[in-house]
Structure 1
Amino acid sequence: MTPQSIATPNDAREHGLEDLSKAKLKVPQADLSQFLKPGEDAKKALLQLGKALFWAQEVGSGGSAGIPAQACASCHFAAGADPRIQNQLNPNITQVINDPQGPIIGLHKAEANPDTTFQVRQPNQKVRFSDFPFVREINQIVNLDVMSSQGVLRSEFIRTIPANPNDDCRPVDDPVFTTLNGMKVRRVEPRHSPKVINAALESFFSFWDGRANPFFNGVNSFGVQDPDAHILVAKNGDIVKERIDIPFSSLASQAVSPPISDFEMSCGVPEINNMRTWPEIGKKLLRKRNGTPIVPLGMQLVAINDSVLGDLSNYPAPGINTTYSKLIKKAFRPQYWRGGKFRVAFTDTEIQTTLPARPNVSLGTRIVDATPEELIEEDFVTEPENANSPPLTQNPRGQRFSLIEANFSLFFGLALQAYQQTLISDNTWFDQWMRSDTFNKGFGKEELKGLDVFVNKGRCINCHGGPELTKASVSNAQADNKGNPQNLIEPMKMGDGRFAIYDNGFYNIGVTPTFFDIGRGGRGPTGAPLSSSRQRLFQEKNIMKIPFQILGGAKIPAISEDGNEPVCKDNNNDGFCGFDEPLLDTFQRVAVDGSMKTPGLRIADLTGPYFHDGSAATLRQVVEFYDNGGNFCHPNIDNLDPDIRPLGLTDDEKQNLVKFLIALNDDRVRFEKAPFDHPSLTVADSGKANGSVIEIPAVGREGRQPLGLEPIGAFLGINQQEVGNFPVNSICSTNSR
């Protein structure tokens, strides 16, 4: 049957596409009434807190000896992405030993086998367009680098100092991120930095591997997968531990990971049990020193007409005219920050690392009476500040924190989530056509032909579906009002023609060999799988008792995705395979190793390089990848998505498809108009401690144009139709399997 071509917006709607300005209203929001004070003033303070903390350089370690301190925005400063080209390579430290343990366990137990040698360029060198794409020979497994974002220099964490943006850190050797002449440079993340714009709609789980859970536990990224996580609450004259699981909050879960990462924003050497902790960050940003608190954004300018922070701006002086503590107290109910006569003493620390650059810290706590000095002055400093003292994360008994400091991860996560929920590009040229059925400057006849390829011959919509253009979206998870997903685990025939279950929205598309980065196949803090599909079969087959709620585990469709194969004996005829209805032998297999979250495609023109490894420089290279049937269809066949096979697109079809993807641009993002305006920022341009920097000016709600700045453009300034050095063996075939 010949697919119906797309000619009108209604044709596109038949395939689930929509003008995002209408569709976004359907996305559920977390109910924060338990945590926030009532009224609009609290919501406004939360948003102001979130934007300030996202852009603030004082949140990160560094900031001395010519080292720009790291903000969250340091890796997301251009259309929510990172276009830098120098010292942006990781040699692929996520690689594991390729020893799968059967159809269910797969690479779950695989031991780390990091590649520490660079291939594309050496540390602190610049990439060029001629370096892309990284893969030159289809199905030929050679070492491959990852294009990502540079963060901090490898340093041991000593302490944070109240109201001082510069952490006390001690440089240590770095066996990986060192130039050929022996100079230590900034470390680079092992996966390409995803964009933050539209993340509120595109992510039921966040991060490429989905480890940022949709339920925020107030402490770390893992949500329900960390059953020991808790916050502290003042109740009945005491401070008690309390378990929270805030639904629809993967962005809050995501937010609390980078600031303590020893690759991204923080000093620390996790392998020797040394890490900066969230209460330490709270101490720096909330506690006064000599009676004076830190100035939020105190090293940066805030435009007087900033859409969120303008009313607070100190312009032309740096910073804003309030404090982080005041914003927290204005937004949150007092039981989460007013500790009265009590302090929180940390008794021990435990650092778990599931993969390099993925540390998680657990803190043992006890509640103690405040000292007389602390009662007189809440900001009293109890620990010594001698730089020769041992790192406090190795001697946690000396640390005492107020309740507001101890709960700072809760405030930080919810505030950043509130800010990111405003960053929605719902006025793209495609959206304008969908709502008017009229061609415009960015969407014409060729873009319409590209849309037809996207839906039909290209099969792009099979993974990039819905108004958000990703199956990993909040709406596609179809969660109930408590946040429990109804459409998370799918039974499907995989690329090898055999059935398996997998996590909806996460696909192995053959960008790199599966064992180079197992993605969704990784482990959480308890050692249990990240993947809901693997959790379900681990529990069912008694491979491992899962000590937390298996999201989507009881909602596996009883019939396969193609509608032909029974998945279980559906005894109650409800259409799902509940926990008491075991999967049939045909589906005793999990296909999640090497799977990555499907990113949304809106503003794709501005967010290169592409894929989880940043290995493609232009959208045309991305299209060529899919037209070829991927890079590693043969080595990845056990987990390969069935839509990854040669497409046979003509040159015109490829060009039109790229034009459609460019039509997903939003002029407000390109020109940084509200809500995409921002404070100034200094980011490293090279990996050296005292190297060159990029000064990003403050932009107000009217955007870049009043400042005489050009709009944000494509990565490397390259035409998106450029093919570059494409693989010699250009068709990926599995026939030799």
Structure 2
Amino acid sequence: MKYSFQFIIAILFYVATGVSAQVNVAPEPIVTPEDARKHGLEDLRKAKLEVPQADLSRFLRPGENARNALLQLGKALFWAEEVGSGGNAGRPGQACASCHFSAGADSRVQNQLNPNITRVVNDAQGPIIGLHKAEGDPDNTFQVRKPNQKVRFSDFPFVREINQIVDLDVMSSQGVLRSEFIRTVSGNPNDRCRPVDDPVFKTIHGAKVRRAEPRHTPKVINAALESFFSFWDGRANPFFNGINPFGVQDPDAQILVAKNGTIVKERIDIPFSSLASQAVGPPLSDFEMSCGVPEADNMRTWPEVGKKLLRKRNGAPIVPLAGQLIAMDDSVLGNLSNYPAPGLNTTYSKLIKKAFRPQYWRGGNARVVFTDTEVEITLPARPDVSLDVRIVAATPEELIDEDFVIEPATSNTPPLTQNSRGQRFTLSEANFSLFFGLALQAYQQTLISDNTWFDQWMRNATFNEGFGKEEVKGLDVFVNKGRCINCHGGPELTNASVRKAQAGDNGSPNNLIEPMRMGDGHFAIYDNGFYNIGVTPTFFDIGRGGRGPTGVPLSSSRQRLFQEKEIMNIPFQILGSARISSITEDEKESVCKDNNNDGFCGLDEPLLDTFQRVAVDGAMKTPGLRIADLTGPYFHDGSAATLRQVVEFYDNGGNFCEPNIDNLAPDIRPIGLTDDEKQNLVKFLIALNDDRVRFEKAPFDHPSLTIANNGRVNGTVIKIPAVGQSGRQPLGLEPLGTFLGINQQEVGNSPVNSICTSRLDAITE
């Protein structure tokens, strides 16, 4: 086989720098908590106090009552089935919690597969553009199981032959049936929708079933600490713009504020708020929670959701969680519970008014009419429609009752494109995305599993029921031979954390774009905390390499070089771009000519030719590992069923090291763990459990919930009981367990002791 001169030079660099690896320096073993602290690990209860949070004083009323009302609003909205579109024809409504009901994740096994609609044409265009411009090439055929079938342990892992590219499914979460959105009805939990054909999600007999999302559902527990950017591809921006997930990447997004007797547009960018950005995405997704056909420009909008949940009908608004029970001792909602009757004894509107300053919900004599309205489009990403409003005077009827707004005429004709156009909304309805995002963020910030068996050991240096000598040996493998800590660093056990981004008071990150030698021996820049680890071929899902709402790259690294090389004008602040280290951390290689000697490659200091490359295609956000025992299946495609299968994946050096070599993270190389080391590593990961999560004790208690057990219309359901702050034990319920109830040490059909080899490995041996 022949190799180019440039490739041979790259190999020489690779070997000379020892990236391939076999440097025989005995690492210091991890024996005590102090040993672990030397590597940046810590008791999370201590560490979380140092993580900055958003200042919401501009938006919230002063005092603890407002913050308590925000928390109550957030928990109610997260668990409320009426938030989603799908409650028609006896089907359970779709709540945010419908995909996050078990330890903050989804443990269902039926109708949970997506055939991989994120695939693009494998047509990389150079070291900077890469797959940014690649056209979509969705796979619509199922491999593991057909729609509405159950997966079995024997189906996992999905990859059986390393480096062999075949079609692969994604294990995800089922959402809504494909339907055209007509309108919401005030005070009615069920949206008006019209079923349409679904060419992909239907059984072998042709019956339509619920759609499944294109990526595995990440857990919400600890997301407040683990995520500077949220979602697998990081499209949920750390700055919340009040409208959609894209933050500063959507420069046209504006909320509305009452001023001087009218309503005006206002730009906001709330730092440390990727969870708020994330929260406003799923409720409008035609896969997850909403009726709509985006390719026909037919979508539900946030003002429509606000109308349904806030506006009165026949003098009464919707009852929050009207079909769900809330325990009298619920840690957040107990004092609002109607138990033994369902629902809360308050309204969403009252909670908003208790929490938020009046200028965001009291419109006075003005009403909002949308000519276009901002919407979030599911993958594959398309440009959003910019917000454009007219402010009009209230009608006489509206002046009598602020909650009164004229309903559109009922019609069986096809709905208008973007159904909010032409309708009249109150200010609170028009700003509902702002309230929703900040409220859900406040709730999720309480969901921190900071009392794991590992945390307890870090606290007092004594063994406990879940952390003993074998777990310490596993921790040593995690830190040293296994190299796990290189991506799963810090107390949060992920490099994608708020702490790792090192954001200042203004929220701008200081450690986001990192220069590093990648798996192929070449240098590149990439987004810290996002790695291509070879789970699937890069072009199956380009992840962080994808596009934002205006076609601009999601990745800060690619944005930097697009701007610098004049490939594209970036019309917003590129997060992290001014704080790229001028010298690589490990090899002390110059990244740019640091003219002002400040240690960074500023915006006016171009990167050297060696670093004119971006390695973000196929990169996904590194998940935190706490409570991993309870949140299988694993990886962004849900393709591994047990933690042992995950360990086997890393020990093999990934699934697709050769096809992904241009973007592969440098630590994805065969490890050579012994069987004892693998078992101990799994035991350490299990020790990241928190009994409060396992038994759903406060703050992990919750209202009741009915979710789809299969994808059929009027199919079977799972009824999840309401749990109070004392958890599952007083109700006689078993603790939450593993996915499929499988022992985490089970290997199954993993390609054990298989080595993922690439061209580079073959030459450097």
The verdict on a shared fold, with TM-score over 0.5 as the criterion, is yes
Counterparts of 1:383 and 1:321 in 2: how far apart (Å)? 26
1:247 aligns with 2:239: no
Q: 1:389, CA displacement in angstroms? A: 4.0
Cα separation, 2, equivalents of 1:348 and 1:577: 40
**Structure 1: which amino acid aligns with 2:91?**
I
Partner AA of 2:609 in structure 1: D
Map of 2:16 onto structure 1: none
Match of 1:58, as an amino acid?
A: E
* Preserved contact between residue 524 and residue 614 of structure 2 (Cα < 8 Å): yes
Pair 1:527 & 2:551 matched: yes
1:356 is the counterpart of 2:380: yes
In the alignment, structure 1 residue 62 sits paired with structure 2 residue 86? yes
Letter matched to residue 522 of structure 1: G
- Taking structure 1 as reference, are residues 340 and 135 closer, same or farther at Cα in structure 2, changes over 3 Å only? same
2:29 paired residue number: 5
Distance (Å, rounded) in 2 between the aligned partners of 1:194 and 1:370: 44
Pairing partner for 2:709 from 639, 664, 685: 685
Q: Which residue number in structure 2 is paired with residue 297 of structure 1? A: 321
- Say if 2:71 and 2:439, in contact at 8 Å, map to a contact too: yes
1:305 and 1:700 in contact (8 A); partners too? yes
- Residues 381-418 of structure 1: per-residue CA shift (max 9 Å, x gap): 42335241432444644311000000000000000000
Distance in 2 separating the partners of 1:302 and 1:357: 37
Aligned residue type for 1:118 = F
**Residues 63-462 of structure 1: pairs in structure 2 closer than 5 A:** 63-349=87-373, 353=377, 355-356=379-380, 360-394=384-418, 396-462=420-486
**Does 2:467 correspond to 1:471?**
no
Letter in 2 for 1:32: L
Q: Deviations over 1:71-117 (max 9, x none)?
A: 00000000000000000000000000000000000000000000000
User: d(CA) in 1 for partners of 2:71 and 2:377?
Assistant: 32
Shift of 1:350: 6.9
CA distance in 1, matches of 2:273, 2:403: 32
Task: Pick closer, same or farther for the CA change 1:74–1:14 going to 2, 3 Å.
Answer: same
**Match of 1:279, SS?**
helix
Q: Supply the distance in 2 between the matched residues of 1:674 and 1:352 (Cα, whole angstroms).
A: 33
Letter in 1 for 2:314: N
Distance 1:516 1:244 in 2: 35
Deviation at 1:43, TM superposition (A): 0.3
Match of 2:9 in 1: none
* Counterpart-to-counterpart distance in 1, 2:740 and 2:757: 32
Q: 2:659 aligns with which of 619, 626, 635?
A: 635
Cα drift, residue 376 of structure 1: 1.7
Residues 548-587 of structure 1: per-residue CA shift (max 9 Å, x gap):
0000000000001313210000011110000010000000
State the one-letter code of the partner of 2:51. V
Q: Which residue identity is paired with 2:218?
A: P
- Of stretches 166-175 and 559-568 in structure 1, the one that deviates more from structure 2 is 559-568
Kindly report which structure 2 residues correspond to 1:599-678, keeping only aligned pairs within 5 A, or say none. Answer: 599-678=623-702
Structure 1 counterpart of 2:87, which letter? G
Q: Which amino acid aligns with 2:568?
A: M
Report if the CA contact (8 A) 2:301-2:373 is conserved: no
Segment of structure 1 superposing worse, 347-356 or 548-557: 347-356
Report which stretch shifted further, 370-379 or 726-735: 726-735
Mapped partners of 1:707, 1:436: distance in 2: 32
SS of equivalent residue, structure 1 residue 659: helix
CA shift, 1:377, in A, is 2.2
**Structure 2 residue matching 1:65: 3-state secondary structure:** helix
Question: What is the rounded CA distance, in whole Å, between the counterparts of 2:398 and 2:730 in structure 1?
Answer: 50
Q: Give SS of 1:368's match.
A: strand
Q: Which moves more between the two structures, 362-371 or 257-266?
A: 362-371
Deviation at 1:357, TM superposition (A): 7.5
Please tell me whether the aligned partners of residues 327 and 339 of structure 2 are also in contact (alpha carbons under 8 angstroms): yes
Q: What's 1:31 paired with?
A: 55
DSSP-derived class of the 1:362 partner: coil
- Whether the aligned pair in 1 keeps the contact of 2:120 and 2:135 (CA below 8 Å) is yes
Given candidates 38, 44, 54, the residue that maps to 1:14 is 38
- Partners of 1:39 and 1:491 in 2: how far apart? 44
Determine the C-alpha separation between the residues in 1 that align with 2:155 and 2:587: 44
Match of residue 525 from structure 2 = 501
Cα separation, 2, equivalents of 1:475 and 1:66: 45
* Cα displacement (A) at 1:371: 1.2
User: What is the CA–CA distance in structure 1 between the aligned matches of 2:384 and 2:632, rounded to whole Å?
Assistant: 29
Task: Give the alignment's TM-score, normalised by structure 2.
Answer: 0.95
Distance 2:615 2:41 in 1: 27
Distance 2:333 2:551 in 1: 42
CA–CA separation in structure 2 for the residues paired with 1:394 and 1:228: 18
Deviations 1:410-446 (A, max 9, x none): 0000000000000000000000000111000000000
TM-superposed CA distance for 1:457, in Å, is 0.2
User: Does the aligned pair in 1 maintain the 2:227–2:496 contact within 8 Å?
Assistant: yes
Q: Could you say which residue in structure 2 is the equivalent of 1:579?
A: 603
**Alpha-carbon displacement from aligned partner over 1:252-285 (angstroms, at most 9, x marks no partner):** 0000000000000000000000000000000000
Q: Which runs of 5+ in 2 are unaligned?
A: 1-24
The SS at the match of 2:524 is strand
Question: In structure 2, how many angstroms separate the alpha carbons of the residues matched to 1:361 and 1:655?
Answer: 51
Q: What is the one-letter code of the residue matched to 1:504?
A: N
Which one-letter code corresponds to 2:565 in the other structure?
K
Q: What TM-score, normalized by structure 1, do the two folds share?
A: 0.99
**Paired amino acid for 1:532:** S
Cα shift at 1:708: 0.1
Q: Which residue number corresponds to residue 584 of structure 2?
A: 560
Q: Which runs of 5+ in 1 are unaligned?
A: none
Q: How large is the RMSD of aligned CA atoms in angstroms?
A: 1.2
User: Counterpart amino acid of 2:393?
Assistant: D
How many residue pairs get aligned? The number is 737
